[in-house]
Homo-oligomer: A and B are copies of this chain.
Amino acid sequence: MNLKQLSEILGLSQTTVSRALNGYPEVAERTRLRVQHAAQKHNYQPNIGAQRLARGRSMTIGHVIPLSTQHEMVNPVFADFIAGAGERYSACGYDMKLTIVDDQNEEDIYRDLKSRGSVDGIIVHGPLMNDPRIPLLQELDLPFVVHGRASDIDTPYCWVDVNNASAFQRAGEFLLSLGHRRIGLINGLEHMDFAHRRRAGLVAALEAAGVTPNPDYLHAGEMTEINGHDAMKTMLALDTPPTAVVVASFIAALGVRRALDEAGLRMARDVSVITFDDDLSYLRNGDRIPIFTATRSSVRQAGRLSADLLISHIENPTAAPEHKLLEADLIIGNSTGPVPQE
């Protein structure tokens, strides 16, 4: 069933039928109802390709997922982010197009997306400190929202980010308040902007309390269970291991716990652990009482907000770039306690 057929059935012109369905005001209300009814009855849906062509808009948002050829890891946060974003896309009539790309030819992908008119806008995932995608997309004049920020880029652009610095600063302050001084960090890869900010936040807290960060306590790596485990194990092997660690992800924190178990240590009693918790649907941090004390911010919510921001920016391209900074909650769980007496 296409528009022509439907309009013939109704004895109306395609113009009127199209307008009736798209809510234009110049069609009589009686006619509109008749048209809507017939469309429903005959299960008419406008062809998406034709609509795209006629409108010159794709009604599609692109997500480009870089799959680093080095570590081959899909960001585990990603699934929940798009669940949040997808919710908003559906509500606003947008499609979501996913592109998996190895980091070789990522730039070409964006150029393609633009020149083929595949998407009306893009979400940028996992920004680096000085991410080349941002100037590229600006140059291409393709609307975009960054999930995160790029510290080294000054020109304004749209972003949605959690306040990583303040989250890790608060985590540090909380541990300091429990008497900890030997505080470690098991961080993500620090060329990623979020990891950089997290480190800065924790270090700021330590320095404000007159504690000099010990380089042996600062680890950066991919946020897997195994890396969390290995990093903790390495620190525990030091002459004076940390009495507390801040961990950048829930998955890595599970590895940290395993290392502590293996060493016969108990979380909270022997070593305090605070993790960042993205509130992933498949990795809940406990039921009533959180397993880990955590700084929590829902990545799904970030997805929703990013989608809304992008859509409003697409539909109102002249507006100045907006951004949203989310504060993480500090949630007390069973993994922190006062510094052990020597």
Contacts and interface: CB of A to CB of B under 8 A. Distances in A.
Interface in A15-74: 43-50, 52-53, 58, 60, 65, 67, 71-74
Contacts of A286: 226
A82 B71 CA distance: 17
Contacts of A44: 115
Question: Chain A at the B interface: mostly helix, strand, loop or mixed?
Answer: mixed
Copies assembled: 2
A72 B281 contact: yes
B78 A284 contact: no
Interface stretch (A89-97, A142-150, A166-174, A177-185): A89-97
A116 B95 CA distance: 12
A9 interface: no
Contact of A97 (B67, B72, B97, B116): B97
A5 interface: no
A283 B111 contact: no
A60 B48 CA distance: 12
A47 B43 contact: no
A251 interface: yes
A196 to B, nearest CB: 20
Contacts of A72: 281
Contacts of A225: 254, 283-284, 291
Contact of A52 (B43, B45, B49, B87): B49
A228 to B, nearest CB: 11
Contact of A90 (B89, B101, B111): B101
A333 to B, nearest CB: 13
B82 A95 contact: no
A270 interface: no
A216 interface: no
A115 B46 CA distance: 8
A281 to B, nearest CB: 4
A8 interface: no
Interface of A: 1, 43-50, 52-53, 58, 60, 65, 67, 71-76, 78-80, 82-83, 86-87, 89-90, 95-101, 111-112, 115-118, 223-226, 251, 254, 257-258, 261, 280-284, 286-287, 291
25 contacts: A1-B115, A45-B112, A46-B116, A48-B116, A48-B117, A49-B49, A49-B58, A53-B53, A60-B97, A65-B86, A74-B80, A74-B282, A75-B79, A76-B280, A76-B283, A78-B79, A86-B98, A89-B100, A90-B99, A90-B101, A95-B118, A224-B283, A225-B291, A226-B284, A251-B282
Given A79-B79, A96-B98, 16 more contacts: A1-B115, A43-B111, A45-B116, A48-B118, A49-B53, A52-B53, A65-B83, A71-B281, A73-B282, A74-B79, A74-B80, A76-B76, A76-B283, A82-B98, A89-B100, A257-B258
